[in-house]
Amino acid sequence: MGKGFKRYALVWAVLVLLFHIVCFVTPNEMAGMTKIDSNFFTGIAFIDLAFVGQLVCAYLALKEEEKKKRFYNLPLITISYTGLIVMLAAGAAVMMIPDLPNWIGILVCCLVLGFTAVSVIKAAAAADLAERTEENVSAKTLFIKTLSADAEQLAASVQAAEIKADAKRVYEAVRYSDPMSDDVLVGIESEITRKFAQFSDAAAENRVDAAKQAADDLIILIGNRNQKCRVFK
């Protein structure tokens, strides 16, 4: 349990305590409200349920350690908080309206609670979808990100002027490539990886001609990959 949730739970407990103090310390008869009426306890019960639901939503949102996951789950707090405010208003109305049939009060509170629950579930589903989409995108861009980092490092480490120029050409080709990968590109990406390893070996051994040939082949392969990316989009 994180420190953020512990502080949140402390504030929540204070608000719940204040709510019950206000409800039970006020006079038994005030503004048409009577504390021996079933409507009074109906309002109390549903507002308590809303408080508990809001705390559960806050826990689900704040338990995540990663900032991105917390950001995705923030709607759980805002929606449940809004639902709590609406339930407070609805519960107070049920408790204070004179001679209100008890079934009407229960129905109104159930509708508010149900609408809030549906909204929270939809927000949780949206957060899960956003997280899975980001993970999928990260996986599909991993090849170009890794190759770009390797190409940049190689361009910075090469000493020979001729090979350095080739390394920069390769890096620029990779840098401006389509970042998204696909299963249909596995073959050509494997070939690019193999050819880049050859280029790196040639650069490390200062074999200018071999490095130039490997660089030319790499740039052609990268261009072919980019064409396939456009076709399969």
Q: Which amino acid is at 220?
A: I
Tell me the CA distances in angstroms from 14 to 21, 41, 54, 56, 216, one per residue in order. 10, 20, 14, 16, 70
pLDDT tens digits, 8-41:
888 899 999 998 888 877 766 555 555 667 888 8
Q: What is the pTM for the complete model shown?
A: 0.63
Q: Nearest 10 degrees: CA dihedral of 104, 107, 111, 112?
A: 60
Which single residue is written with the structure tokens 């957060």?
127
Helix H, strand E, coil C: the string for the chain is CCHHHHHHHHHHHHHHHHHHHHHHHCCCEECCEECCCHHHHHHHHHHHHHHHHHHHHHHHHHCCCCHHHHHHHHHHHHHHHHHHHHHHHHHHHHHHCCCCCHHHHHHHHHHHHHHHHHHHHHHHHHHHHHHHHHHHHHHHCHHHHHHHHHHHHHHHHCCCHHHHHHHHHHHHHHHCCCCCCCHHHHHHHHHHHHHHHHHHHHHHCCCHHHHHHHHHHHHHHHHHHHHHHHHCC
Question: Once rounded to an integer, what is the mean pLDDT over residues 137-164?
Answer: 84
| pLDDT value of residue 48 | 93
Partners of 29 in the beta sheet? 34
Question: Once rounded to an integer, what is the mean pLDDT over residues 124-142?
Answer: 78
| pLDDT value of residue 86 | 94
Q: 15 or 133: whose pLDDT is higher?
A: 15
| pLDDT value of residue 1 | 56
Specify burial of residue 98 (Cβ count, 10 A radius: 0-12, 13-18, 19+).
Answer: exposed
Q: Each residue of 6-34: b (16+ CB within 10 Å) or e?
A: eebeeebeeebeebeeebeeeeeeeeebe
Q: Angle at Cα 135 formed by Cα 132 and Cα 137, nearest 5°?
A: 110
Pairing of strands 29-30, 33-34: antiparallel
Q: In whole angstroms, what is the distance from residue 225 CA to residue 214 CA?
A: 16
Residue 117's pLDDT band (cuts 50, 70, 90): very high
* Euclidean distance between the first and the last CA atom of the chain, given in angstroms as a whole number: 44
Residue 114's pLDDT band (cuts 50, 70, 90): very high
Average pLDDT, the chain: 84
pLDDT tens digits, 152-161:
898 888 888 8
